[in-house]
Amino acid sequence: MGISLLLMNAVHCSPAKLKMDPPRAPQSMLPLLRILTGSVALLAIGIWVAGNAQPVLSVNHYPLNFHMFAEHTHILSLSLSLSLSLSLSLSLSLSLPDARARTRTHTHAHTRNHVLAGAYGFGVLMTNGVLSNLVVFLVGQWGWSNASGASTVNTLSGTSYLSAFFTGALTDAYIGRAWTSIICQSLVMVCFFCATSILWVSRSLASAAALRIAFIVLLYTFMILSGPVLVSLTTFGADQLMSNEHKELYFKLVSITHTLAQLLATLVVTYVDEAGLWILGYWICTACAGLAAALIWVPAPHCRIYKVSKNALIRIAQVFVAAWRRRSLSDCNEGHIPNGCQESKCFSDPSIQRTSRANLMRFLDKAAVLSSTDPKLNEPNPWRICSVQQVEDLKTLLRVIPIGISFTFLTGTSALVTSLFEEQALVMDRQVTSWLILPAASLNFFSIAGALFIGFLNAFGGARWIGLLIRCCQGSRYDDSPSPLQMQGFGLVLCIIGTAFAAAVECWRLKTISEDGSLLSILWLVPQTLIIGASMHINVASSFDFFYREAPDELRMASNCILFLFHGCGNYVNSILVAAVTAITTRGGQKGWISSNLNEGHLDHFYWLYAFLLLVILCIHIAYASYYARTKKLQTLYRRFS
């Protein structure tokens, strides 16, 4: 749920000035029909072959009519991959028009958006299908330790967000959204096919250490490529629409698609993995990667292509470089407006938001100070001299960045759901009823449910009640519209409650195990997962709302990329904290807090430590938010009376 909000806001906040081609005559939807018909036909042939072939390797039988799939897993997997490859090649060879027909049409924009939203959904399904149960696979199938499995999953998730950060800042200026989606998703499909093939072959070998290393490397490559695909694909779909109303509807469609894909990954792929059909689960993700690539390729020749403005991160780097080069100059006076030729051009552009000069970070002002040795040019080198507006925009962005610290730690908390919570579930009683055994990865479903509950609550006026609660705690007048900073603080409070509840449950579980050896029910993990999912939704929405309101127009895309960076760093913070705690608590031959056998460790101590860190972050957030609000009020008064 969080990544959908990240991606939608990254699209909505982009300030690029775009040029569009005029609309052309509508094109036929035969390419889409070809690929759907070809896929269905060839998949049917593949299933028929699998059902009549001899099993390659024998595996155990599993309930719910999985006998045929369990007996013929490898033949079925091969048939699925071949049918997917054939249908993709056939549809592309028949549907791609020649050079004269490669005109971008706009009358079928909604149909193309539905196709691109479907590609986005398959991309989310393949990503969550791998990550949701990966820690169970690494610990249960490969025998990794709990700490190593949790760190690997968190690092993989963080890699996706970091790649989205760097790509979101570079593709618009150099590659373009369409080609980024096409190239990266095609490479993702190849990586998935190779990784699943390696996993298939390694099961029949006695020693497959090298193949396992290659599998992990391919997973990292996949995560590096998946971030750019999701960012560019969402933006590419919104590019096809003209009105803000239609774009808003498209964002809702993407959000629904994202949630449904997460649910399918949590329920379907997770159950297949839980039944022991790991190969089939990965081939399902491979098929989703191929379908996503096909759904991008088919409408691409007919889509609208945007030409965007210069890179926002380069604009930021120019200020730092110019300030460093001119560090020996004296600071500019308050009443002096340096770099006059650039200022006249900057302030005459109505699309650029004019701000009052700030007294903070005055060392950056040197980037806009003219010296007697500067040549008089109509277009100065932006890496040597910048405009005052450019400097002030960067100052505004730097002032809002500390707010992202709380976002980082909240992201790290949400990473616990796909790592340590699942490892806890493996040593608990997962038999809910006589006919239902919950997989460990099903906790992701409850995290999504918590986010959806908060979303529906806000849709029906829940934010007013949250604002009332905040105002009552502050002892101030009631305001029915809480600020984004207040909502972030409320999200932190919820996260602290969820982490503390997790620590209490783990303490009770260890006590129960030591006393009578009975297993605690997995349902005790549901409340903490719901609370953390809800807190993540609140913090993601409020963080993007805050960054969108406060960031300058020209740097809003950069601010969204920075939030991607914070999101990725949260997973790395979790991995570093797990590694540090494991290294410290295992000194002298001790079992450690996060032991390979959780019944011999003290995972509750780790949760209490994390809750304490979140409490410290909450205090820092309250202090800086109060300081920022006072500074913002003074700047408003300055602009009013100046």
Give the three-state DSSP class for 133: coil
pLDDT surpassing 50 at residue 496: yes
pLDDT, position 513: 84
User: Given this model, what pLDDT does residue 430 score?
Assistant: 83
Residue 490 near residue 538, CB atoms below 8 Å: yes
Is pTM beyond 0.75? Reply is no
Work out the number of other CB atoms within 10 angstroms of the CB of residue 381. 12
pLDDT value of residue 95:
36
140-149, 442-451, 484-493, 559-568: range with highest mean pLDDT: 484-493
Please give the residue that has the higher pLDDT: either 636 or 355.
Answer: 636
Range among 418-432, 466-480, 497-511 with highest mean pLDDT value:
497-511
Model confidence at 638: pLDDT above 70: no
| Length of the chain as a residue count | 642
203 compared with 60, residue with greater pLDDT: 203
**216 vs 87: which has the higher pLDDT:** 216
Q: pLDDT tier at 577 (50, 70, 90 boundaries)?
A: confident
- pLDDT value of residue 307: 60
Q: Give pLDDT, residue 467.
A: 64
3-state class (DSSP) for residue 429: strand
Mean pLDDT confidence for 447-476? 68
Range of lowest pLDDT (8-22, 53-67, 621-635): 53-67
Which domains does the chain carry?
109-302 (1.20.1250.20), 312-397 (no CATH), 400-641 (1.20.1250.20)
Higher-confidence position of 344 and 386: 386
Task: With H, G, I as helix, E, B as strand and everything else as coil, classify residue 478.
Answer: coil
Tell me which residue of 463, 486, 491 sits closest to 474, measured CA to CA. 486
Does pLDDT of 521 surpass 80? yes
Q: Which of 152-161, 172-181, 458-467 has the lowest mean pLDDT?
A: 458-467
Identity of the highest mean pLDDT range in 65-74, 76-85, 168-177, 597-606: 597-606
**What's the confidence (pLDDT) of residue 91?**
39
Average pLDDT over residues 149-157: 78
Which amino acid, residue 301?
P
Residue 615's pLDDT band, with cuts at 50, 70 and 90, is very high
| Percent of the chain with pLDDT strictly greater than 70 | 63
H helices present in 298-401, as ranges? 312-325, 340-347, 388-400
What is the mean pLDDT of the segment spanning 43-54? 43
CB within 8 Å of 246: residues ≥ 6 apart = 109, 110
Residues 6 or more apart whose Cβ sits within 8 Å of residue 631? 399
Pick the more confident residue, 640 or 226: 226
pLDDT of residue 229: 80
Mean pLDDT, the chain, rounded, equals 70
- The confidence score (pLDDT) of residue 379 equals 65
Task: Encode pLDDT of 383-427 as tens digits.
Answer: 878 878 778 878 877 888 888 888 888 877 877 776 788 888 888
Query: pLDDT confidence of 193, banded at 50, 70, 90?
Result: confident
123-137, 348-362, 598-612, range with the lowest pLDDT: 348-362
Q: Cα-Cα-Cα-Cα dihedral of 71, 76, 77, 79, to 10°?
A: 160
What is the rounded CA–CA span in Å between residue 35 and residue 22?
A: 28
- Higher pLDDT: 164 or 44? It is 164
The tokens for 49 are: 């072959």
pLDDT of residue 500: 92
Q: What angle do CA 56, 62, 64 make, to 5 degrees?
A: 125
Q: Please, is 495 exposed, middle or buried when counting C-beta atoms within 10 Å of its C-beta (0-12, 13-18, 19+)?
A: buried
Token pair in block for residue 208: 């497959």
Q: What is the pLDDT of residues 541-561, one digit of tens each?
A: 778 778 767 777 666 666 767
Statement: residue 464 has pLDDT above 70:
no
